[in-house]
Structure 1
């Protein structure tokens, strides 16, 4: 059966202007870091992508090494774009990145012009596209002059292989310098993608100020702290959870009794707001108007449906914010 998008999809979502640009992004975007690779069910991945689009999520975020296997998440989205979403290309924003290890040898990692342009060419082939909407340098590289890295991003835009460019995982000082170089070249950085959640507030130590000063949007990844800020960890570590596995971003040592107690207290506030803990955690990230979008992950359609309901209540009273601050800082 031919896919036809929900004709009410844009009524389900809030769209925020990205920095000083003319581009609007959905308040909630779908990240394809996990569960969209060649080892995962293609039918489930396709169902999640199409449900997200039906709910007004127009932005799909990738990187060259997402999978596993590396590159296979881009191939998955490429298949969906070629078939189900073929007629909707101009209604979606597709981003990808390069900056971590992708292939063997001296040219498959970091931030050189050789690596970034080669990687994007590979990504475009996997996606079956002539261009992506946003291309990021995934992490700073101390061994490559920043002028070379940002110059490569400028060249990519001028070649028509990306409409916009951005950076990810850069600190405040690095972001300021990168933005200055990009502006001098005539291709301002559109967006920064840092990790941001109730349990990881490092961006509040200057980075958000810099992005505002430089006119950049912010795409907050891991707003649920790898699932920690969900109902999954209210009592203990489930055996099927990421923390019970081999994740380098979340493991059993991260789930202390103190952390579980904080999760339980936060859940009480969420219930009073008629939200799940996940919905409140996403809304909390979006409370700062400098944050353009919260990047969610998913393993099944129901998680996307639940997270999009966050839009129904983005408002926090001062007493709620004070209570949350007390819990997460105590």
Structure 2
């Protein structure tokens, strides 16, 4: 038995829950040993067994993982493991896929782009069964233009051997015209495991965000103009493609003559405000909090 990780889960709803580090740790342990008990997973990760049980229920319910049985086809009496490429008329693809889903010989069906429209993975107990499938099961279907058969000689790596790769490091965009502060943020956040890029103005930051969407933005309030950062945050909120990115406004405005003009704890364009100077642990904690909340 093995746990299959569905990498498409959540794609229909981008705002659905994402995998956090605990989810990933649980999945990696299950992929190493699908028969491991919840209590042992909890012991290895240092959390309560109830937490593991709830996480597994959520991962299964949301379609992130599913239970599967990896069968040794030759030992089970199905030595002919093949992939069949099918080229068919476009209007026939859905109908053909629906019909083949009910065939016991079919292991998996893939809609593909390129020369072939449909890729069939199937297993047979002998050449006659394969020939019968090609001549009768496929031969009776209308709309098929041509087929090709690829015999699997040896499985070098199976889906059961695939492991969840490490999570992509969060991308933090630091927007400030003070190079010393930018370097401070880069050093602290890179050490904490994040990828860091920078911009020197709100205008430059907005242009960069449309080219490479960050996971969080640290935005200085006062740069070229008095409210440069605040205006950039407001433009982000008005742009549907950027509105969901967490924004942390940073500034030494609390010690400036403009302090009373800006309600630092109540800006609708920001998710948080940090006053300079910022302690490294405070910066990392706030970034982690907002990224976890977003996920």
Could you say whether these structures have the same fold, taking a TM-score greater than 0.5 normalized by the shorter chain as the test? no
- Which protein has the bigger helix share? 1
TM-score, scaled relative to structure 2: 0.28
- Which protein has the bigger strand share? 2
Larger Rg belongs to: 2
Higher RCO (Cα < 8 Å, 6 or more apart)? 1
TM-score, scaled relative to structure 1: 0.26
